Amino acid sequence: MPMPLEDKHIYTVSQITQEIGVIFENTFGNGVWVEGEVSNFKAASSGHFYFSLKDSAAVLSAAMFNRANRELKFQLQDGIKVICFGKIDVYGARGQYQMIVEKIEPKGIGARALAFEQLKEKLLKEGLFDSAHKRPLPFMPFSVGVVTSSKGAAIRDILGILKKGAPCVDVVIRSARVQGEGAAQEIAQGIEELNQFNQVDLIIVSRGGGSTEDLWAFNEEVVARAVYNSKIPVISAVGHQINISLCDLVADLFVETPTAAAKIIVDKKNTFLAELDNLRHEMVFSISETISSLKNNLTALRHALKSPLDRLHEKEQLLDDLSAGLSQNMRQLIEITRERASSLIHRLGALSPLAVLSRGYSLSMLMKDESVIKDALRIKPGDRVKTILSNGSFISLVEEVRRNERKTGF
């Protein structure tokens, strides 16, 4: 016989939902890993993610709140196979159990690798890698901006190559962090500031070698877009041997090392001087050809006229004098032009930061923010100061600050 109604324990809907929640808590209280394919993904305006995890036989509802998903390295989307960690809970409003996801990783590929491929595909579709957008490098860059760490090996390599092979080239250094949190934003800002400065012919974005993790700032979207939007041609010189960064793909030219970038400028300087020398030879040859043609025409005219011979001889002598004078003037003009070009190159070399340092000047920077010290008001006793010389540098501690002192002699 059925049990009398008064002897039965009757649950309310809320009570049974709570009991089921307790069962889940006891069973999966420490969290559980679940593998599945993402479907029905939705990002709510609140920042929370809602989706389903499915396999061939079942579907599990899932939620990932904004406090957990804000550090997600890749874009969650339908069709991605993932492994999730979280707790199983009951959503009483719908009487449905769901997984509250705390961590999520793509199955078979790292989060950063997936983020790289997703961003690469996005930028490719937008045309940031198109060769039609690539700008040609200037024939001869007399001023070069470099976005890199002022303390890294990359800037030392670049300055060393240019000092030896192209001292006429001015170098403007925009110091920026090249790895770690905030590095991508500093690199992008450096590119934008050099464009606003508008006094350089070429920009080099550079750092030395490192692991994929070290070089990750050059895979950030903000850097790729800064390079793409630059009005000044950009060389990407991120030290690597295997992996190509998004900065490389967007840049007008990319090379594997900072040294290679500096050598391009040296080669351009050598090409420029060789072109000047070729023009000089072509001008001399053209003048000689013109004079020879005039002589031949005059000889033909003399044979045609036959008389008066004295007048013809006089004209021949005048032509010889003019020819000699023209040759002399052209040689002088060529020599003057060559001297002016050499003077210009030497003057440009004298204006470079390296030349200024070599004359006995130095450059002092506050160690705490690497800013150049132009006014004694900016420093105080106890500050650490780095002083850069023509050959090497040293670090000193400020003992006393004297203000409003000016020295008229050396």
CATH code of the domain made up of 10-108: 2.40.50.140
202-207 and 143-148 as β-strands: parallel, antiparallel, unpaired? Answer: parallel
Cα(225)–Cα(192) distance, integer angstroms: 10
Cα(24)–Cα(130) distance, integer angstroms: 53
Q: Tell me whether residue 153 is exposed, middle or buried, using C-beta atoms within 10 angstroms of its C-beta: 0 to 12, 13 to 18, 19 or more.
A: middle
- DSSP letters along 13-63, please? HHHHHHHHHHHHHHHHTT-EEEEEEEEEEEE-TTS-EEEEEE-SS-EEEEE
Beta bridge partners of 384: 397
Cα(114)–Cα(77) distance, integer angstroms: 12
Task: Give the helix, strand, coil percentages of the chain, each rounded to 5.
Answer: 45, 20, 35
- Give the pLDDT confidence score for residue 176 in this predicted structure: 93
318, two tokens: 């005048």
Residue-wise over 240-260: b if at least 16 C-beta within 10 A, else e? beeeebbbbbbbbbbbbbbbe
CATH architecture of 117-263: 3-Layer(aba) Sandwich (3.40)
Cα(339)–Cα(334) distance, integer angstroms: 9
- Give the pLDDT confidence score for residue 130 in this predicted structure: 92
Type and span of the H or E element at 382 = none
Cα(144)–Cα(199) distance, integer angstroms: 9
- Show Cβ contacts of residue 232 under 8 Å, excluding neighbours closer than 6 positions: 145, 194, 195, 198, 200, 201, 202, 203
Cα(204)–Cα(261) distance, integer angstroms: 7
SS3 89: strand
SS3 179: coil
Q: What is the DSSP letter of 388?
A: E
Cα(295)–Cα(396) distance, integer angstroms: 75
CB 240 within 8 A of CB 178: no
Give the domain ranges of the chain.
10-108, 117-263, 267-352, 362-397
- Give the pLDDT confidence score for residue 317 in this predicted structure: 80
Q: Would residue 46 be called left, alpha or beta, if left means φ above 0 and alpha means ψ between -120 and 50 degrees?
A: alpha
Cα(199)–Cα(206) distance, integer angstroms: 19
Same fold, 10-108 and 117-263: no
pLDDT along the chain (410 residues), means of 10: 60 62 65 85 89 87 87 78 83 76 75 74 89 90 92 89 90 91 93 94 88 83 94 88 81 91 90 82 84 82 63 75 80 82 73 69 85 85 87 88 62
SS3 403: coil
